[in-house]
């Protein structure tokens, strides 16, 4: 059963088309990833689904509610964790949760029990009475997760949830996100440009570039669609014509003195490739990764940099138009 549906969802900022006729269907309880480089349209898509930005064209529904006509109902059934922390540094962790509960109209009879449950979930019960300014980056992200879950949302939007965190903290957050999906049956939409994160967490992935979907499927199926292993060669003057004539070589790309090929059964055919390609300095063979998938569909590397912009940039852009 689909909990999110979009039909030709489009967002334009003057002449810039940030999201271009996006069609998505996300199943209930699914972890769905939006993967792409900076400026691809990931955050803009989330902002429209969360009613923070009005679509220019097309329409979308979240939990059966239209994002244009039923914005209040949509907001009550979603949680949102932004790229940049938005909690109050002068308040304690528990006070931040309580303030959020007041804003969302959470039942005050059960609020203390609810906060205890969530603080336990994100391992912050022992630090709940400390001010936020003493929290590490990982602790802040975990509290933001707890805050986004406080009102029992059906859908949780996570915009670059591990951006800037160290690998150990990132692994811990992945554990929490998986736990939410499996135990709480929450539908999670996550934007990221970290390949490993998308591969580890997502049931399905949509690769977005220039506001359009380049490919969409499970991580494993996306990788298998490349049709073989990845072989990378450092060759000074490669014989490209000879390589492209080989039936077991499905693609050949040359960048910065390196040849990257997709080869069926590379172990069997590697020697033949080496004989035809020319003088080889180095050889690397491996199974396809999501980065290889992105290269295949878009022709450009996913950049490991900051996101396309937080909530305030989008809101300011919207207000100025």
Residue 197 lies in a domain: yes
Q: Please indicate, yes or no, whether residues 165 and 280 belong to a single structural domain of this protein.
A: no
Query: What is the gyration radius of the CA atoms in the chain, in angstroms?
Result: 23
Q: Please indicate, yes or no, whether residues 168 and 272 belong to a single structural domain of this protein.
A: no
Q: Please indicate, yes or no, whether residues 160 and 261 belong to a single structural domain of this protein.
A: no
Q: Please indicate, yes or no, whether residues 242 and 173 belong to a single structural domain of this protein.
A: no
Q: Please indicate, yes or no, whether residues 17 and 129 belong to a single structural domain of this protein.
A: yes
Q: Please indicate, yes or no, whether residues 237 and 216 belong to a single structural domain of this protein.
A: no
Contact 233, 259 (CB under 8 A): yes
Q: What is the CATH number of the domain that holds 248?
A: 3.30.70
Rounded-to-integer distance, Cα 170 and Cα 308, Å: 20
Contact 209, 198 (CB under 8 A): no
Token couple for 215: 């490919």
Rounded-to-integer distance, Cα 176 and Cα 20, Å: 32
Q: Please indicate, yes or no, whether residues 262 and 204 belong to a single structural domain of this protein.
A: no
When divided into structural domains, the chain yields a total of 2
Using the predicted structure, report yes or no on whether residue 319 has a pLDDT greater than 60: no
Question: Measuring CA to CA, how many Å separate 177 from each of 1, 122, 186, 193, 206?
Answer: 21, 10, 10, 17, 19
Q: Please indicate, yes or no, whether residues 29 and 145 belong to a single structural domain of this protein.
A: yes
pLDDT band at 3 (very low <50, low <70, confident <90, very high): very high
Last residue of a domain, one of 177, 203, 222: 222
Q: Please indicate, yes or no, whether residues 267 and 183 belong to a single structural domain of this protein.
A: no
Token couple for 52: 């923070």
Residue 12 lies in a domain: yes
Q: What is the CATH number of the domain that holds 173?
A: 3.40.50.300
Residue 194 lies in a domain: yes
Instruction: Quote the percentage of the chain above a pLDDT of 70.
Output: 93
Q: Please indicate, yes or no, whether residues 37 and 72 belong to a single structural domain of this protein.
A: yes
Q: Please indicate, yes or no, whether residues 81 and 199 belong to a single structural domain of this protein.
A: yes
Contact 276, 249 (CB under 8 A): no
Q: What would the pLDDT profile of 253-287 be if each residue is shown by its tens digit?
A: 887 778 888 898 888 899 999 988 888 889 999 88
Residue 300 lies in a domain: no
Comparing CA positions, the residue from 234, 266, 271 lying closest to residue 250 is 266
Q: What would the pLDDT profile of 158-203 be if each residue is shown by its tens digit?
A: 998 888 888 888 888 898 899 888 888 899 999 987 888 999 999 9
Rounded-to-integer distance, Cα 304 and Cα 89, Å: 28
Mean pLDDT of 110-139: 92
* pLDDT on residue 260: 86
Contact 32, 190 (CB under 8 A): yes
* pLDDT on residue 252: 86
Domain residues for the domain of 241 are: 227-287
* pLDDT on residue 308: 47
Q: Please indicate, yes or no, whether residues 98 and 233 belong to a single structural domain of this protein.
A: no
Mean pLDDT of 78-82: 91
């Amino acid at each position: 059963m689909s909990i999110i549906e979009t039909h030709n969802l489009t967002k334009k900022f003057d002449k810039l088309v940030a999201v271009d006729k996006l069609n998505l269907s996300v199943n209930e309880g699914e972890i769905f990833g939006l993967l792409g480089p900076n400026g691809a349209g990931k955050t803009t898509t989330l902002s429209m689904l969360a009613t923070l930005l009005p679509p220019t064209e097309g329409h979308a529904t979240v939990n059966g509610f239209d994002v244009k006509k039923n914005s209040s109902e949509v907001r009550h059934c979603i949680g949102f964790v932004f790229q940049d922390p938005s909690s109050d540094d002068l308040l304690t962790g528990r006070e931040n949760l309580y303030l959020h509960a007041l804003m969302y109209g959470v039942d005050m009879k059960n609020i203390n029990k609810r906060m205890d449950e969530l603080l336990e979930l994100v391992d912050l019960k022992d630090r709940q009475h400390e001010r936020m300014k003493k929290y590490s980056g990982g602790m802040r992200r975990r509290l933001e997760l707890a805050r986004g879950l406080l009102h029992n949302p059906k859908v949780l939007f996570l915009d670059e949830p591990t951006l800037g965190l160290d690998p150990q903290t990132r692994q811990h957050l992945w554990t929490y996100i998986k736990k939410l999906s499996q135990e709480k049956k929450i539908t999670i939409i996550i934007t990221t440009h970290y390949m490993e994160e998308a591969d580890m967490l997502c049931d399905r992935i949509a690769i977005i570039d220039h506001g359009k979907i380049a490919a969409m499927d499970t991580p494993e199926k996306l990788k298998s669609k490349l049709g073989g292993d990845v072989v990378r060669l450092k060759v000074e003057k490669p014989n490209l014509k000879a390589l492209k004539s080989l039936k077991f070589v499905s693609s050949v790309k040359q960048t910065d003195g390196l040849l990257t090929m997709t080869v069926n059964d590379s172990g069997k055919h590697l020697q033949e490739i080496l004989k035809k390609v020319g003088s080889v300095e180095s050889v690397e063979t491996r199974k396809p990764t999501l980065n290889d998938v992105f290269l295949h569909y878009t022709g450009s590397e996913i950049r490991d940099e900051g996101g396309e912009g937080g909530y305030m940039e989008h809101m300011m852009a919207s207000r100025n138009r």
